[in-house]
Amino acid sequence: MRPVRIPALSPLAAALFLSACANAAPTPVVVTPPAPPAMHARLLDDVRILSAEDMQGRDTGAPGGEMARNYIVGRLEALGVAPPPMGRMQPWEMQGRTRAGAKTWNGVNVIGLIPGARVANRYIVVTAHYDHVGVNAEGQVFNGADDNASGVATMLALAADLKREAPDHSVLIVALDGEERGLLGARHFVEAPPVPLTSIAMNLNFDMTARAETDGKLWVTGTYQNSAFRPILEAIPANGAVALAFGKDTPQDTGEDNWVESSDHAAFHRAQIPFLYLGVNYHPDYHRPSDDFERITPSVFISATELSIASFRALDAALDR
Ligand SMILES: [Zn+2]
């Protein structure tokens, strides 16, 4: 693992320190270096657990997928993220794809609601798919650490941040199932949304946030389609190991370099809901059994998650102004 960046004292820690000083007896102050913030350890734990062998590649409808789902529910409960009125679980049955052809898949989306402090009746829908492709015919497990245990962990870190300081807009935290089988969970979500589609201000989708050895970038896809978002995010500075980059969404971006249809945000886009997708570029372990926890880059993952949270905050502050 690469060393973790040590941030400045948080406002809460600073306030506690100052109040402690006000009452302090005149004893010598022992200065110890601050530990890495809990968020960083939590992030890495979430990816490690979700991409562990016992999750068996988190395939839709498989026991490993259910295990991942139960873990995510437990994390949301621990964070105090309540279910929406329709309930925590959104089960669905959809036609999807396999290498052998069409198949009916049974999946379950997991939903949490964080009420907004300023615009409670408008929603930002944050998504990350927790499913991956399971186990192949040779018995190789596709652990999907970057794709997409990382995005789920980033989303949980955002949820924790939003519980510390409430967002302006209400936020639906949605761990989607069935992405790998044709964006099934996302398609079901927009067909049977827990809130009216007209009340959804945008979708922010995280898919692969934990390594960027090819270009050092966290790509933002969708500003070609939703140009008002670009200046909002361009104001966010690069953060340590990763910088935001804009693209993979124009008519000149073709084939696998066009990501407009590449993940769950596509279902929102087709429903004419503004979207942005944050994710890293392809790497040699993409959709291979070697997409393992040991191959993610912690400094990149932490940096990309901090940029993701900063992006959310900037969008939340700018929307509906
Ligand atoms: Zn993915």
CA of 207 to the centre of ligand 1 (A): 5
Q: What is the mean pLDDT of residues 305-314?
A: 97
Of 6-15, 83-92, 104-113, 243-252, which range is least confident?
A: 6-15
CA of 279 to the centre of ligand 1 (A): 9
Give domain status of residue 222, yes or no.
yes
In this structure, what are the phi and psi dihedrals at residue 221, rounded to the nearest 5 degrees?
-105, 135
* Residue range 32-46, pLDDT digits in tens: 444 457 889 999 999
Q: Is the pLDDT of residue 13 over 70?
A: no
Binned at pLDDT 50, 70 and 90, residue 101 comes out as confident
What per-residue confidence (pLDDT) applies to 37?
78
Q: What is the mean pLDDT of residues 45-57?
A: 98
Binned at pLDDT 50, 70 and 90, residue 102 comes out as confident
Q: Is the pLDDT of residue 138 over 80?
A: yes
CA of 312 to the centre of ligand 1 (A): 20
CA of 208 to the centre of ligand 1 (A): 6
CA of 315 to the centre of ligand 1 (A): 23
Q: What is the mean pLDDT of residues 272-297?
A: 97
Mean of all residue pLDDT scores within the chain: 90
- Residue with structure tokens 């406002």? 11
Q: Is the pLDDT of residue 14 over 80?
A: no
Q: Is the pLDDT of residue 112 over 70?
A: yes
Q: Where residue 115 sits, what CATH number does that domain have?
A: 3.40.630.10
What per-residue confidence (pLDDT) applies to 44?
97
Question: Residues 202, 208, 212, 214: what is their CA dihedral angle, to the nearest 10 degrees?
Answer: -100
Candidates 310, 143, 302; CA nearest to 237 is 310
User: Is-above-0.75 flag for pTM?
Assistant: yes
Give domain status of residue 22, yes or no.
no
* Residue range 174-211, pLDDT digits in tens: 999 999 999 999 999 999 999 999 999 999 999 999 99
Q: What is the mean pLDDT of residues 278-306?
A: 97
Q: Is the pLDDT of residue 51 over 90?
A: yes
What per-residue confidence (pLDDT) applies to 28?
47
Give domain status of residue 307, yes or no.
yes
Residues, the chain = 321
Give domain status of residue 29, yes or no.
no
Domain holding 44, by residue range, is: 38-318
CA of 64 to the centre of ligand 1 (A): 17
Give domain status of residue 30, yes or no.
no
Instruction: Give the DSSP per-residue string, 292-307.
Output: -GGGS-HHHHHHHHHH
* Residue range 140-160, pLDDT digits in tens: 999 999 999 999 999 999 999
Give domain status of residue 4, yes or no.
no
Q: Is the pLDDT of residue 2 over 90?
A: no
CA of 146 to the centre of ligand 1 (A): 8
Start-to-end CA span in the chain (Å): 42
Give domain status of residue 253, yes or no.
yes
Q: Is the pLDDT of residue 15 over 90?
A: no
Q: How many independent structural domains does the chain possess?
A: 1
Give domain status of residue 137, yes or no.
yes
CA of 280 to the centre of ligand 1 (A): 10
CA of 15 to the centre of ligand 1 (A): 40
Question: Residues 234, 128, 274, 226: what is their CA dihedral angle, to the nearest 10 degrees?
Answer: 30
Distances (CA, A) of 58 to 99, 187, 223, 282, 309: 17, 19, 31, 20, 25
Q: Is the pLDDT of residue 173 over 50?
A: yes
CA of 148 to the centre of ligand 1 (A): 5
What per-residue confidence (pLDDT) applies to 197?
97
